[in-house]
Amino acid sequence: GESVGLHLPTLSVQEGDNSIINCAYSNSASDYFIWYKQESGKGPQFIIDIRSNMDKRQGQRVTVLLNKTVKHLSLQIAATQPGDSAVYFCAEMPGGYQKVTFGTGTKLQVIP
Amino acid sequence: NAGVTQTPKFRILKIGQSMTLQCAQDMNHNYMYWYRQDPGMGLKLIYYSVGAGITDKGEVPNGYNVSRSTTEDFPLRLELAAPSQTSVYFCASSPSGATYEQYFGPGTRLTVT
């Protein structure tokens, strides 16, 4: 079936560097994408979202890029901090906005 | 606001036992969801609800049941627990409207032995 997946299971980044977390999706009908952060022992927390009619959206220290041509989503974190260490999930929502499909997740490790 | 609350935090069940995982939200959100997360994996949707009295199956509904008698509460029922249901269960809610950001509870860690 259609699914959302991530290229890298673990990403190690030096504190202060920028991080890029990638996500591939296969459902071309997906209309809305979300990035979540999950710290150990906690539920996922919303970071940023983007609709399919956009190719870039910026938040505080985070930027999401959407390339619909190759069905690719990325999350860029500027000046990565130790508090950014977590598992990051991308999620997609097809039209209807009721069902969310989560990817497997990428663990981000920040090296002090 | 307390947000999304879940009880219990931890539970150990024997095979064949039943239990109800409780979920409540005080944000007046119409949409509520139940997910399970197996170790090292992403979240899989079990059931969801778009409002009181309305529920629908997600990706992995077998072995579970839900009800939504009020806007606030969305309990998940496990009947005849099996080891395959060992997982962390997350409840989430979201407002209807232009944004579909989901707010998650802290999770219930369930072990079936």
Q: What is the CATH number of the domain that holds A94?
A: 2.60.40.10
Q: How many domains does chain A have?
A: 1
Res A30: pLDDT:
87
Mutation for B interface: A31, A57, A97, most B CBs within 10 A: A97
Chain B contact residues (CB < 8 Å to A): 4, 31, 33, 35, 40-45, 48, 50, 56, 58-59, 90, 92, 99-107
- Roughly how many angstroms between the first and final C-alpha of chain B, as a whole number? 36
CATH number of the domain located at residue range(s) B4-99 in this protein: 2.60.40.10
Percent of chain B surpassing pLDDT 90:
81
Question: How would residue B41 be classed by pLDDT, with cut points 50, 70 and 90?
Answer: confident
Residue numbers of the domain that contains A43: 4-111
Q: Is residue A6 predicted with pLDDT exceeding 50? A: no
Nearest to B31 among A49, A98, A103 (CB): A98
A31 touches chain B (CB under 8 A): no
Token couple for A8: 């890298």
- The pLDDT tens digits for B79-104 are 999 999 999 999 999 887 556 788 99
Tell whether the torsion through CA atoms of A78, B93, A89 and B98 is positive or negative. Answer: negative
C-alpha atoms less than 13 angstroms from C-alpha of A30 in its C-beta half-sphere = 29
Token couple for B107: 């999770």
* 8 Å CB contact between A77 and A18: yes
Can you tell me whether residue B79 is helix, strand or coil? coil
